[in-house]
A and B are shown apart, each in its own frame.
Chain A
Amino acid sequence: MRMPPFKLHTPETLEDAVALSGELGEAGDEFDWIAGGTDLLPNYKWHLNVKPHVISLARITELSELSETHIGAMVRLHELAESDDVHPLISKVAAMVASVMIRRSGTVGGNICLDTRCFWFNQSEEWRESIDWCYKCDCGTGADCRVIPNQNTQCVATYQADLAPVLMCLGAQIHLAGPSGMRSMPLNEFFELDGITRNVLQPGELVTHLTMPDDSCELVGDYQKLRQRDSWDFPEAGVAVVWRPGKSGGPADLRVATTGLESIPGYHEEEAASILNDWKGKDSIDELAESVRTAVRPVLNTWYPPSYRRKMVKVLTKRAGSGLTEV
């Protein structure tokens, strides 16, 4: 449980940070970014994929800008929860993440890029050695996945962060910077189904900020999550339902996203669109809940069994979409 040694770099500007990551990349040195450290440091203490270099973003002030349409990657979750500028749903969700101490330190960028979690992976080094490692942290042994054996192709660890589904539903655009330049994309294209890499970030790239579309303030919605203890547990399942109030009879736009069920958050575009085409009020919400339940594929690697999580996804979707009947 002792912290492994690493070299800490503290660049003061984004250019310095990106240049440093390029240098380390060229020299063949592996490194991790550290923002709040609430996810990375416990993993390092457990000797999970430890890198010799760590680049801290704490001194880069330009990453902590916060306004109605601009959320910097280094904005603390607590600031987001207390903010009056951002969409009320974002501050509500930020206030639901973990405990207040973790929110004081944890950041938006860190929450979006949160490492996936699994019963067979988030364990001490001795524990993992006794099961001959696992696919995600195989320590050079080429070990098999312990959740679903005999499939050495994909890690199925669970993505358990809260902000992503809500930001996806609100249409956030994510901005990345790296040695090869800046790029941006919608947040739902940022994630790629793989428990190890989980997103499109290339080596040396980092998330700089998120921008919200101007019309996001017209959207309303809710987020519901499932966990054993409301104080600080990771979500076992989370559902965000966001809609644009229509002129008459039903919402004008409907977006649904889930988290805590697969290796990446799920953006259920097709399910939402098919419901929206044939809007029948309360029955449609039940239909939507059922289609989301069948769309998700949780596996047995967190506290609740997958069957219960799927059943609860249905309930959570109904609860999150309960405001739709008043549209």
Chain B
Amino acid sequence: MIGSCHMGLGQVLSEEMKYGRNGHLMNPDLLDYKIPSVHEMPEVIPIIVESNDSEGPFGAKEAGEGPLLPILPAVCNAVYDAIGVRVSELPITPDRMHRLIEARCKEEDVEPTGLQSPRLEHSELQEVLDERAAEHADRDSIRASMEDDSPYHNGALFGFDPLIPADQQDDRWIVSVTPSGEYIDAPRLAGSAWKHEERRHGGAN
């Protein structure tokens, strides 16, 4: 996980393959291909959340490249949070960042120190999510304090029987996620894939 953080930070901040005008890789060595060194790496504290992945062998979950992925949006969002500049090209090297800041300042007609950081405004959904997260945290701590040391399974926090499928034990537990016809008629951006027609065979049938 620390290694993934390192790779992610390198990818988002400094690692770039530069090509010359005739297509040659200009930095094919570790001095010019700038991988963060031990001095650039911050301290990383991995927190491992134990879970049972039904797709993996013996419930195992991969931990190789997965932790790399959130590093890139996290750093880009941190930049956005600080100065309100959205980065669309990686890595965020100082020269690229400088160019973006200059463009932003010109657009807003302010000094670089006058750039406002955007404020986050939650929708109404956030309250519901916070409530649910708090309830779940309670259930989690209750299970941790119980003497029950049986292995974790999906629904364990709700006291479900591991041998019976969870959706048969509680109506609120949804396994199938096919949306209703009403939703498919007017899906929002994320749901528009449901209207996608399969055209793998030339779209004939």
Name A residues whose Cβ lies closer than 8 Å to a Cβ of B.
99, 119-120, 122-124, 127, 130-131, 228-234, 303-305, 308, 311
- The answer on a CB contact under 8 Å between A304 and B95 is yes
Whether B54 is near chain A, meaning CB under 8 Å from some CB there, is no
- Which stretch from B26-34, B56-64, B160-168, B196-204 is at the chain A interface? B26-34
Q: Please judge, given known A-B contacts A229-B39, A231-B40, whether A131 and B24 are in contact too, CB under 8 Å.
A: yes
Closest Cβ neighbor of B14 among chain A residues: A228
Chain B at the A interface: SS class: loop
A122 / chain B contacts, CB cutoff of 8 Å: 29
**Residue from the set B20, B27, B31, B38 with the largest chain A CB neighbour count within 10 Å:** B31
- The answer on a CB contact under 8 Å between A123 and B95 is no
Inter-chain CA distance A85–B35, complex, in Å, is: 36
B36 / chain A contacts, CB cutoff of 8 Å: 229
Whether B113 is near chain A, meaning CB under 8 Å from some CB there, is no
Contact of A231 among B22, B37, B95, B98 (CB under 8 A): B37
B26 / chain A contacts, CB cutoff of 8 Å: 119-120
Whether B93 is near chain A, meaning CB under 8 Å from some CB there, is yes
Closest Cβ–Cβ distance, residue A122 to chain B (whole Å): 8
Closest Cβ–Cβ distance, residue A171 to chain B (whole Å): 33
The 8 A-B residue pairs with the shortest CB-CB distance, nearest first, are A308-B95, A231-B39, A231-B37, A119-B26, A228-B34, A304-B95, A229-B40, A228-B14
Inter-chain CA distance A130–B22, complex, in Å, is: 10
Interface size bucket, B side? Answer: 20 to 34
- The answer on a CB contact under 8 Å between A233 and B40 is no
Closest Cβ–Cβ distance, residue A303 to chain B (whole Å): 6
Inter-chain CA distance A122–B29, complex, in Å, is: 10
Contact of B28 among A127, A131, A308 (CB under 8 A): A127
Contact of A131 among B22, B93, B99 (CB under 8 A): B22
A304 / chain B contacts, CB cutoff of 8 Å: 93-95
Q: Please judge, given known A-B contacts A119-B20, A119-B26, A127-B24, whether A233 and B34 are in contact too, CB under 8 Å.
A: yes
Closest Cβ–Cβ distance, residue A69 to chain B (whole Å): 34
B20 / chain A contacts, CB cutoff of 8 Å: 119-120, 131
Which residues of B94-129 are within 8 A (CB) of A?
94-95, 98-99
Given contacts A130-B24, A233-B31, A305-B95, 9 further A-B contacts (CB under 8 A): A120-B20, A123-B29, A127-B24, A228-B14, A229-B36, A233-B34, A303-B32, A304-B93, A311-B98
- The answer on a CB contact under 8 Å between A231 and B38 is yes
Inter-chain CA distance A99–B37, complex, in Å, is: 11
Inter-chain CA distance A130–B25, complex, in Å, is: 11
Inter-chain CA distance A124–B32, complex, in Å, is: 13
Inter-chain CA distance A281–B105, complex, in Å, is: 28
- The answer on a CB contact under 8 Å between B95 and A119 is no
Closest Cβ neighbor of A46 among chain B residues: B29
Could you name 21 residue pairs across A and B whose Cβ atoms are closer than 8 Å? Answer: A99-B37, A119-B20, A119-B26, A119-B32, A127-B24, A131-B22, A228-B14, A228-B94, A229-B14, A229-B34, A229-B36, A229-B37, A230-B39, A230-B40, A231-B40, A233-B31, A303-B27, A303-B34, A304-B94, A308-B95, A308-B99
